[in-house]
Structure 1
Amino acid sequence: MRLMIVLLLGACALAGLQTWRIGGLTDDVEQAQRIIGTLSAGIESRDNAINRLNDEAVTRERQEQSLRTQLARASQQARDREYDIQRLLNENQEMRDWYSARLPDGIGRMHARPAFASAADYLRWLSDGDELPDPGKLTRH
């Protein structure tokens, strides 16, 4: 009978030990699930950022292509305009004389620009510039 009581107490002690270990494992599982949740949120955030960056890259590529098309069109128009000017100059002596004539002083000053180190220098130069004379008023030249 004593042997049975000892065996029964041993079985109860073993069951208690197993219950305690299972409780610890449950805590470990819950902690692992929290870590998995945090990592999953981080991965989802990273995936969203990657998708957003990919979308922005596609948009920029489209914009770049559009700008290249506009640049090509503008270059063609400039070539056509230059061709037309050259053709008119070759055909017409009056046009050649007008084209080679010196610009008036006011317009010549408008085209004269110093070299600028920055956009701020350019803006300062613009605001400090001389005003053009009013074409409706007589000047003292």
Structure 2
Amino acid sequence: MQLLQNKLLPWLLLLFMAICFSFSYSHNQQLSIKYRQLEDDKQELIEIIDYKNNELLELGDQYHANEQKLIEQKNQLQAVDALNRQYQQQLEQLINENQQLLMWSDTDLPDVIKRLYTRPEIKGSEDYKNWMSSRNALLSPHE
């Protein structure tokens, strides 16, 4: 039995070591595969983070551009609002002026203006000459 043990024991040990080596090799292969997968995942995550970071930077730039446009539009709106107030004031002045003109047009013309309309009908240059000479005729030196 001793002999059997002496002959079998090295083979058993060798078999046990082969199994351990095989298990260790298989385990190392799995770890290597997992490590490569983790490295790939890590690289993919880095690329995703870079992509998202670039998107955030672009969004930040767009935000600042939109803020600038909003400020410009507010300034334009203020200018248009001031112009609108000015037009409204002019419109009110014209409405008031129109009412004053309507009231004035309902009144009688002054006598001086009425006399301008009391001239005879002039049909030619001779009529005009006679009318002009008969208006404010000067007294002759004898008179």
Q: TM-score, normalised by structure 2?
A: 0.54
Asked if 1:13 corresponds to 2:61, the answer is no
Q: How far off its partner does 1:50 sit?
A: 3.0
Q: 1:51 aligns with which of 69, 74, 78?
A: 74
Cross-structure match for 1:119: none
**Structure 1 CA distance, aligned partners of 2:78 and 2:108?**
45
Residue 42 of structure 1 aligns to which amino acid in structure 2?
A
State, as a whole percentage, how many aligned pairs show the same letter: 12
Q: Distance in 2 between matches of 1:14 and 1:96?
A: 110
Question: Equivalent residue for 1:69?
Answer: 92
The change in CA–CA distance for 1:3 and 1:95 in structure 2 (over 3 A counts) is closer
Q: Deviations over 1:5-46 (max 9, x none)?
A: 111111211111111111111210111011101211222223
Q: Structure 1 stretches (4+) deviating beyond 6 angstroms?
A: none
RMSD of aligned Cα (Å): 2.6
Residue 47 of structure 1 and its aligned partner are, at CA, apart by 2.3
Q: 1:24 aligns with which of 23, 37, 47?
A: 47
Amino acid at match of 2:64: A
Name the CA distance, whole Å, in 2 between partners of 1:32 and 1:54.
32
Map 1:1-141 → 2, pairs under 5 A: 1-84=24-107, 86=109, 88-89=110-111, 96-97=114-115, 99-100=116-117
CA separation in 2, counterparts of 1:41 and 1:19? Answer: 33
Per-residue CA distance 1:56-77 (angstroms, 9 max, x = gap):
3322222111001111222233
Mind listing any 5+ residue stretches in structure 2 that lack a counterpart? 1-23, 119-143
The unaligned stretches of length 5 or more in structure 1 are: 102-141
- SS in structure 1 of the partner of residue 75 of structure 2: helix
Matched residue count? 96
